[in-house]
Each structure stands twice: as structure tokens, then as C-alpha cells.
Chain A
Amino acid sequence: MFEIKNLSADIDGKTILKGIDLKVNPGEVHAIMGPNGSGKSTMAGVISGNEDYNITAGKILLEGSDLHGLLPEERAGEGVFLAFQYPVAISGVNNMVFLQASLNSIRKYKGLEPLDAFDCIELIKNKMKLLHMNPELLQRGLNDGFSGGEKKRNEILQMLLLEPKLAILDETDSGLDIDALKTVAEGVNAMRDEKRSFIVVTHYQRLLDYIIPDVVHILKDGKIVLTGDYTLAQRLEKEGYGWLK
């Protein structure tokens, strides 16, 4: 289970998160919606250990243990995965090399033997098929010159490889056409099971038609102002955020 208690955080002295409580049971998908600038990416960054943010209050618990003081790479080892809203491109680093390094770091953290290049390629290619990705992308630099859709699929590919306990998808749907959106949703749904938790950040009900959430939260000005079920997403789609106080 993943739990956030009364979480507040600053950046450069500016308060962004103002006391967030959230509880995601194993197997659940929670959607986070909310206007631009409300703090959704900040929350994702704070959970995954981005040191730019300063936590002023609260706790983040994964399966009961506090993530406080763990480095980003340790949190990743513990099973926190963040699909970035804006994945960076690192042109000199070969995508395949990166995926293998990442996979083996996580395996090492879990006390597993590293996979050799052959097993890695095999595994990666299988997951790529699921996401209808062109295997040529493995030979490119990490996200280098990738289209928006290719970048997002590459994020989901990493999620499938690393098999996290908590996956946070930060606007993975923005910029995707409907086919890409379906593929991404299939990738997520393939991983849904009773052990894993998902937090899906989105502006659009569209994605939630394919990844049906158990709970929908609305984040506004650093606070969760409303929690409901799937119908909340439908209402937002129709009426926007204006009706929220």
C-alpha cells in the first residue's frame, strides 16, 4: 500500500503542496486531475525523491516504510516509478545501453543477478512488441529525436521492465493520438494486479476510458479538494474546473 500523510513541500521558498493526504491500496488505480500549476508534477517529484523540493511536513509511506531520507535511486529500487511528463533526451547515451543499465541497477538493489545483454534484448523486445514500438528506437540515443508519442511509449516500456510497486504516470496521455493512447493504456492494464498501485495524472477523461480508475482526486492549489469515483472525471470533462470553489 502507498500512503501520503499531510504532505507539504516548498520550492525556492514558495509553498506548492499544502497538506496532501492520499491512500492507494494495492491493486488500485487513482487518477489525479486538476488545473495547470496545481502541483501534480510537484507531488510526483516529491514522491520520487527530487531534491529540488523541500519537504516541510508530512510522510510518504510505501508498504508501511517511510521513504524519507532515501535517495531517488533507492526509492526506484524500492519500487517507485515515475513516467515523466517531459522525459529528458540524452543524445550520447544509447537507449538499449540505458535500459539495460537501469534494469540491472534495479535488479541489483533487489539482490538479483544482472541480466546479460542477450537476455536483456530478448526481454526488451518482447515488451516493445506489446507497445507497438519500433525496435530501431533501441539503437538511438535515449529519447534523442523521439517524437512525443515515442518518448511516452519509452517511459511505459521502462515501467514494464522495472515492474514497480507504485507507478506514477504524469500526463503520459498528453500529445498522444488515440491509437497511441490505447497502446499505452494496454501497457498499464497488462501490469494491473493486486500488488501494484498506480497514480495516473491527467487532464482528460479520455485516458480514463481505457484505464478505469478506482478513485479520482482533484488537486487544486496544492490541496486535494475533492475525491470521488469515475463520474467525477466525466463531470470535469463537461464542466471544467470552474465549478470548484
Chain B
Amino acid sequence: MSKLQISEQYKYGFESNVPSDALPPGLNEGVIRAISAKKNEPPFLLEWRLKAYRHWLKMVEPNWAKLNINPIDFNAISYFSKPKSQVDRPKSLDEVDPELLRTYERLGIPLHEQKMLAGVAMDAVFDSVSVATTFKEKLADAGVIFLPFSEAVEKHPDLIKKYMGTVIPYRDNFFAALNSAVFSDGSFVYIPPGVRCPMELSTYFRINAMNTGQFERTLIIADKGSYVSYLEGCSAPMRDENQLHAAVVELVAHEDSEIKYSTVQNWYPGDENGKGGIYNFVTKRGDCREARSKISWTQVETGSAITWKYPSVILKGDHSSGSFYSVAVVNNYQQADTGTKMVHIGKNTSSTIVSKGISTGKGQNTYRGLVKVSPLAKNARNHTECDSLLLSDTCGAHTFPYIEVSHPSAQVEHEATTSKISEQELFYCRQRGLSEEEAVNLIVNGFCKTVFQELPMEFAVEAQKLLEISLEGSVG
């Protein structure tokens, strides 16, 4: 496959000419103090960052057997970059740099409210800072707080203090500790008791500046009896160097509440020889803290050179339920190691896992999942379905389902399949007029159907297109 084709495939690979105000590369306590100072953070937050940093220094980078990672030089990364025009946060979209707005237009995400998808409120994070949040008033009327993380720190420090780090402590793992020390921005959502959020909430993450890591933090709290559906999307310019993206996402679901969190991940995957691409090392965890709460993760992962993420649910509340629906695609030299952890603690808790891995080129696709039933988790139920589709002879699919059951009443089911698209299937489709590529897309979409159904409607079509682009030229 030619270079040209690849460039066409990753149509989000352009770079915007937006002057940035960045910290020089390197990581030390001074850098952390500088980030915190730039954001006028309260002392408790600086303290927390420093504790995380000191803890991180003592940790060693995880070395996962199935991943082939170039060593990361943490001192070569700039930990903060923001568009110059954003030095004083714009009060409204009229004050946003038009070049930035154009960037989002090109990405297919117009931030002007009148042009936006109806019913979707959007926050856009460009490198390290949030540049625009739309539909603020409409959400405020419903009592919903949807703010860039740094703005939430200023306006609602009590909520941040109460919830941040309670699902993913900074000691959790190497990349979570790093994020806790240096995170720059992200999204914050609070849904008050009894409120059904009137629109989909969405954040679009974009890495633009070179040698910049993106370390965003998202915190979503659904108070009693509330409901929210949230979607994140991401992209980055094409570069030969690997760029690090180490996010943390924490979800807290109180009694009778429900959080649906969807991801369409399309970071630059690197070229056809495996050069460049984003290292996507993300910690995502939801806490079903109280009775009858529900958390659902849906992800469509098509981008990144390496994806390393296990969106998990801690099922503490009695009758709480968690689900994980995933499509992960690897092409060329991409590597994905993804899955989930479902930790059953409360009584009568249930979890559902549906993982669809599609592999082609020399891609390596690993499902790694843990279902844990603790000694008090009476009547826990889990159903896991783990399917792999192989489109080339040089790719690999691996499945590591770990099951730890400590209560005899648990019902844990695991099904796994591996399939290829047969010549007979292709010929049948082609005899009916479909090209080989159309036939593959049709079969792949059918394969992913149960996951796409979980996405908000506006994004299901988008995800389908993205999948087709990722697999372009991968058959025949």
C-alpha cells in the first residue's frame, strides 16, 4: 500500500497553525508547580499533584508481555501546551481563535451551536486546554454542570475535592500516577439528583502541538436517580514520533443512577511501517457506588499505535450493573491490549462484556479481562462474549479471560469465537453485486452490530465509517 493511500486514510492527520504557549520538555516538581500556578489551582490540588509525582518516581513502567513499546523518555515530553489565544479563557465562542474553530470544522465537529448536532453539547480539548464548551446555558437550566476540568476546579472545588481520585487513586498504576501529577485539562460533569441530562454530552480531544503529551482527566458524577450519556472522540496530526496520551476517567454512580460512557478513539495509528502514532495508555474506571446504579462503557477503538486500556466497573451497590461493549481494530503494526475488569462486591450484581476484535495487516489484538466475584457478592452474574475476526494471515488475536470467583452462588459465563471471512462468503456477496471491500465492510459491520447498537445514534454511523476507513485496502 502506498504512502499516499495511508495519508488519505487518516484524514485527521493535518496540523493546525495555532501558536502555542508551552512549557519546555521535562518533568520535575518545578514543572508541576508551574502547571498548577498557570491554572490558579487551590493548594489542595497542588499538594495532591506533588504526592502523585513523588509516588510516580518510585514506580516502574509496566511491561506488558504482548506489547512492543519503544521506550518513552518522560523528559522529552512537554507537559503543557495551550493555544496562545487561550491565555485568557474565552467567555464565548466569538472569542475563540477562528483557526481553532476551523480545525474543528475540518475534523467534522463544528462548534458553532447552530451548526451542531442537535441534542449534543460539546467540549473541545486542544492539546492541554479546553477551548470551547457549547450549550452551557441549556445545561445550567437543568442544573447540569458540564465544564472544562480546570474551570470546575475554580467553580466547584468542593465537588472536585470530594470525588477526584476516589475511583482511581493516584497510586493505582504508573500512568494514572503520572496523569495525577501533570494533568492539564479534561471534562467535568455533575448531574444533580433526579435529573435526566437533556442532551448527550461530548468531549473532543485533539493533540496538535509536537512533543506534547495529552494528560486529560475526566470526572463524571451521577447523583441519585440521574442519567447521563457521554461521548468522547479523539484525533491527532500524523507525526513520525510516538506521542503519549495518558488519560484518567473516573465515573461515580450514586443510587438508581445511570452513566453511559462512549468512546470513539481515532488517534493517529502510525504509518504502514509502524512509524509514529499515539501511545494511548488510559485508565478508566466506574464506581457503582450505591444500590441499583448502572455504568456502561462502549468503545470503538480504531486509532493509536498502541492502545492499553481496561475500562472497568466496581459493582459495590446491591443490584448494580456494569457493562463493557468494545470494538477494537488493528491494522498495519497497530497493537491493542484492551478489555475490562468487572469487580462484583454488592449482592445481586450483574455484568455484561461484549468484545469484538478485528485484526488485519500485522496488527496484534489482545482481549484481557477480569471478572472478579468477591466473597460477599451473593448472586453475582456475568456474561462474557469475546469474538475475534481475522482479516489477514499475518495478524494476531489473543484472549486472556481471567475469572476469580469467591462466592458459590456466582454464575459466570464465557463464550469466545475466532473467525475469518471465507472465500465462499466473499464470492457469494460478489455474485450479488458487492465489491470485495463492500462485502468485507458488510460482514465487519454485522460482526460489530451488538456494540454499535450501544452507541448514541448520531455516532453509530460515524463509528461505522471510521471502521471502513481503518480497514481500507486491507483485503485482497
Q: Do A and B come from one complex?
A: yes
- B448 to chain A: closest residue by CB: A92
- Give, as a whole number of angstroms, the nearest-CB distance from A82 to chain B: 5
- B433 to chain A: closest residue by CB: A105
Chain A 57-114 interface residues, beta-carbon cutoff 8 Å to B: 71-73, 76-77, 81-82, 84, 87-88, 90-94, 97-98, 101-102, 105-106, 109
Segment at the interface with A among B232-240, B347-355, B424-432: B424-432
Contact residues in A for B475 (Cβ distance below 8 Å): none
Assess the A76–B422 pair: CB atoms within 8 A.
no
Is B449 engaged at the interface, CB distance under 8 Å to the other chain? yes
Assess the B434–A105 pair: CB atoms within 8 A.
yes
User: Would you list 28 pairs from A and B whose C-beta atoms are within 8 A, ordered by A residue?
Assistant: A52-B423, A71-B435, A72-B427, A73-B430, A73-B431, A73-B435, A76-B432, A77-B433, A84-B431, A88-B424, A88-B425, A90-B425, A90-B428, A90-B443, A92-B446, A92-B449, A93-B446, A101-B434, A101-B438, A101-B442, A102-B429, A102-B433, A105-B432, A105-B434, A105-B435, A141-B446, A158-B432, A162-B433
Is B459 engaged at the interface, CB distance under 8 Å to the other chain? no
Is A205 engaged at the interface, CB distance under 8 Å to the other chain? no
Contact residues in B for A94 (Cβ distance below 8 Å): 446, 449
A162 to B427, CA, bound (A): 17
- Give, as a whole number of angstroms, the nearest-CB distance from A42 to chain B: 13
Is A50 engaged at the interface, CB distance under 8 Å to the other chain? yes
Contact residues in B for A141 (Cβ distance below 8 Å): 446
Assess the A90–B432 pair: CB atoms within 8 A.
no
A101 to B440, CA, bound (A): 12
Tally A residues with Cβ within 8 Å of B. Answer: 30
Assuming the A-B contacts A93-B443, A93-B446, are A76 and B428 also in contact, with contact meaning beta carbons closer than 8 angstroms in the complex? no
A13 to B427, CA, bound (A): 21
Is A48 engaged at the interface, CB distance under 8 Å to the other chain? yes
Is B447 engaged at the interface, CB distance under 8 Å to the other chain? yes
| Per-position binary interface string of chain B over residues 393-423, scored 1 when its CB falls under 8 Å from any chain A CB and 0 otherwise | 0000000000000000000000000000011
Contact residues in B for A105 (Cβ distance below 8 Å): 432-435, 438
A220 to B395, CA, bound (A): 44
- Pick from B422, B428, B449: contact of A84, CB under 8 Å: B428
Add 12 more A-B contacts to A97-B442, A105-B432 (CB < 8 A): A49-B431, A52-B423, A73-B436, A76-B431, A76-B432, A76-B433, A84-B428, A87-B428, A102-B432, A102-B433, A105-B434, A106-B433
Assess the A88–B422 pair: CB atoms within 8 A.
yes
State the main secondary structure of chain B at its contact with A: helix
A92 to B451, CA, bound (A): 12
Which of A73, A106, A141: most chain B Cβ within 10 A?
Answer: A73
Contact residues in A for B449 (Cβ distance below 8 Å): 92, 94
- B441 to chain A: closest residue by CB: A101
- Give, as a whole number of angstroms, the nearest-CB distance from A187 to chain B: 17
Chain B 6-29 interface residues, beta-carbon cutoff 8 Å to A: none
- A92 to chain B: closest residue by CB: B446
Contact residues in B for A106 (Cβ distance below 8 Å): 432-433
| Leading 8 A-B pairs by shortest Cβ distance | A92-B446, A105-B433, A102-B432, A93-B446, A72-B430, A106-B433, A76-B433, A73-B430
Assess the A93–B442 pair: CB atoms within 8 A.
yes
Contact residues in B for A101 (Cβ distance below 8 Å): 434, 438, 442
Contact residues in A for B446 (Cβ distance below 8 Å): 90-94, 97, 141
Contact residues in A for B436 (Cβ distance below 8 Å): 73
Contact residues in B for A97 (Cβ distance below 8 Å): 442, 446
Assess the B428–A73 pair: CB atoms within 8 A.
no
- A158 to chain B: closest residue by CB: B432
Contact residues in A for B434 (Cβ distance below 8 Å): 73, 101-102, 105
A226 to B449, CA, bound (A): 51
Chain A 108-166 interface residues, beta-carbon cutoff 8 Å to B: 109, 141, 158, 162
- Give, as a whole number of angstroms, the nearest-CB distance from A216 to chain B: 25
Contact residues in B for A48 (Cβ distance below 8 Å): 431
Contact residues in A for B435 (Cβ distance below 8 Å): 71, 73, 105
- A94 to chain B: closest residue by CB: B446
Assuming the A-B contacts A93-B446, A94-B446, are A76 and B424 also in contact, with contact meaning beta carbons closer than 8 angstroms in the complex? no
- Give, as a whole number of angstroms, the nearest-CB distance from A98 to chain B: 7
Which of B422, B428, B431, B449: most chain A Cβ within 10 A?
Answer: B431
Contact residues in A for B424 (Cβ distance below 8 Å): 88
Assess the B433–A98 pair: CB atoms within 8 A.
no
| Per-position binary interface string of chain A over residues 186-205, scored 1 when its CB falls under 8 Å from any chain B CB and 0 otherwise | 00000000000000000000
- Give, as a whole number of angstroms, the nearest-CB distance from A158 to chain B: 6
A102 to B427, CA, bound (A): 13
Contact residues in B for A93 (Cβ distance below 8 Å): 442-443, 445-446
- A102 to chain B: closest residue by CB: B432
- B423 to chain A: closest residue by CB: A52
- Give, as a whole number of angstroms, the nearest-CB distance from B385 to chain A: 13
A50 to B426, CA, bound (A): 10
- Give, as a whole number of angstroms, the nearest-CB distance from B62 to chain A: 35
- Give, as a whole number of angstroms, the nearest-CB distance from A146 to chain B: 14
